Structure 1
Amino acid sequence: MSLRAYLTSRVFVAQILAAMAIVAVIAYLFFHWITFTTHHGQEISVPDLSKLSAEQAEEKLAALDLDYIILDTVDFRPDAPKLTVVEQEPKAGSKVKEGRKIYLKINASTYTMVSVPDLIEKTYRQAIPTLEAVGLKEGTISYRPYLGKDMVLEMRMNGKKLKSGDKVLKSSKIDLVLGDGKVVFDETTIDSTAVDSTQMPSLDAE
């Protein structure tokens, strides 16, 4: 049979059609396999991990085929249990792919220690922002006689006098003793300087 006759024969056409069908089946199976292995179109909703310990968060994420990384420990937050998740990225409810890493920040076990700033001879208006800047709070305000009104004379905590540089827990309340702006004079009569007019010599001429 000549080549021309073979190319126009039913046998050749049947072989071509069979080969195309095989290629189509292989292509379909290949793309279906790719879609399955890459989870194309499948997304996982990130769970809410707030107030969970690292171990609890790991178990919850592992069940969803998600991973995690602890970024840092943040300053103690009293509204959350110690050593639990307080921040996560991506946020709860976000859609991610399998194997995605969730970044966590953990609450510290207690407040950190901070140094008491030097507030002596500063005004009340200056003292409060300075306290807040280092994470301390205003406590009880009391007054005592002093020329400078609202001038800080002492810093105290739990009845103990503080000085600048002392270490206290962050968020502690610092009591301030302020001047009342009144000058107090000593009214005690000093006899040695008192002058008795009856003892003064007479100026009348003899």
Structure 2
Amino acid sequence: MKSELEDRKKTTDAASPAEEGVNKKPQKKYPLWKNVLVMAVVIGLFIAGGYWASIIYTRHGEEVAVPDLNGLTVRQAMERLDALELYGEVRDSIYNRQIAAGVICGQSVHAGNYVKVGRTIFLTVNTDQAPSLVLPDVADNMSYREASAKLRSMGFTLGEPEYIDGERDWVYSVKYKGYNVSVGTRIDINEPIRLVVGNGHYMMDELQFEQTYGDSISPEVGDILEIF
């Protein structure tokens, strides 16, 4: 009995290696260079995909000509820039009485220049708010010619001068809206100011008359002056 059991065990042990050989699948081996090639292809596809995605998203490298925006309203300018995939931003304003208020009168990139899409164009708008200027010291300080030249160069609007008795062409005062104004007054440049100027005719008092004519005064004239 014992001998029979030992024979069966030997038979089982002898059959095990054969069965393992039948059940075990052979492992397929790939050369190293094939693995490297596959990795390189995958990485290349990933990089290329990212590059083309960025081009599609940002249109990298594409340029467009900047349009002429002068004379357009802000809304019209923004619509024209948006059609070209450009951006507009009002950065500054000026006052120019020669053109309409609220229109574009300047742009950071000249019309016709090429820029990349997505670029921001800064705009300057003509405002309807006229600035004010500080009146300089011209009254009783200079001639009409000097005062008018100085005021015009600063941007003031001058009306017709008002003449009074006094030294010819000498500026005696400045009027704004019918009232005399002093140096330092802020004046709307759209409102005219008027210079009060001497006409060359003025009355001398007795002292000035005597200093001017002296002993040449006749007794008759002297008597008349004494009466007054």
Q: CA 1:27–1:161 in structure 2 vs 1: closer, same or farther (change >3 Å)?
A: closer
Distance (Å, rounded) in 1 between the aligned partners of 2:197 and 2:169: 5
Q: How does 1:3-14 map to 2 (within 5 A)?
A: none
Distance (Å, rounded) in 2 between the aligned partners of 1:166 and 1:21: 79
The amino acid of 1:53's aligned partner reads: T
- What's the TM-score once normalised by structure 2's chain length? 0.61
Q: Which runs of 5+ in 1 are unaligned?
A: 1-6, 8-16, 195-206
Greater share of residues in helix: 2
- State which of 62, 65, 68 in structure 2 corresponds to 1:48: 68
Q: CA 1:33–1:151 in structure 2 vs 1: closer, same or farther (change >3 Å)?
A: same
SS in structure 1 opposite 2:133?
Answer: strand
Pairwise CA RMSD: 3.7
Q: How does 1:173-184 map to 2 (within 5 A)?
A: 173-184=192-203
- Which protein has the larger Cα radius of gyration, Structure 1 or Structure 2? 2
Q: Are 1:61 and 2:75 an aligned pair?
A: no
Is the CA contact 1:50–1:85 (under 8 Å) kept in the aligned structure 2?
A: yes
Distance (Å, rounded) in 1 between the aligned partners of 2:42 and 2:61: 27
Q: How does 1:115-194 map to 2 (within 5 A)?
A: 115-124=134-143, 125-132=145-152, 134-147=154-167, 149-157=168-176, 160-164=178-182, 165-185=184-204, 193-194=226-227
Q: Which runs of 5+ in 2 are unaligned?
A: 1-30, 32-36, 210-220
Q: Which has the higher contact order (CA 8 A, sep 6+)?
A: 1
Is the CA contact 1:118–1:163 (under 8 Å) kept in the aligned structure 2?
A: no
Q: CA 1:20–1:71 in structure 2 vs 1: closer, same or farther (change >3 Å)?
A: closer
The amino acid of 2:180's aligned partner reads: L
Moved over 4 A (4+): 17-38, 189-192
Q: CA 1:191–1:85 in structure 2 vs 1: closer, same or farther (change >3 Å)?
A: same
Q: How many residues align?
A: 183
- What's the TM-score once normalised by structure 1's chain length? 0.66
The amino acid of 1:59's aligned partner reads: E
Q: Percent identity?
A: 26
SS in structure 2 opposite 1:99?
Answer: coil
Is the CA contact 1:157–1:174 (under 8 Å) kept in the aligned structure 2?
A: yes
Is the CA contact 1:154–1:161 (under 8 Å) kept in the aligned structure 2?
A: no
SS in structure 1 opposite 2:161?
Answer: strand
SS in structure 2 opposite 1:92?
Answer: coil
Q: Are 1:78 and 2:97 an aligned pair?
A: yes
SS in structure 2 opposite 1:193?
Answer: helix
Is the CA contact 2:61–2:116 (under 8 Å) kept in the aligned structure 1?
A: no
Which deviates more, 138-147 or 48-57? 138-147
Is the CA contact 1:155–1:175 (under 8 Å) kept in the aligned structure 2?
A: yes
Alpha-carbon distance, 1:64 to partner? 0.7
SS in structure 1 opposite 2:81?
Answer: helix
Is the CA contact 2:164–2:197 (under 8 Å) kept in the aligned structure 1?
A: yes
Alpha-carbon distance, 1:26 to partner? 8.5
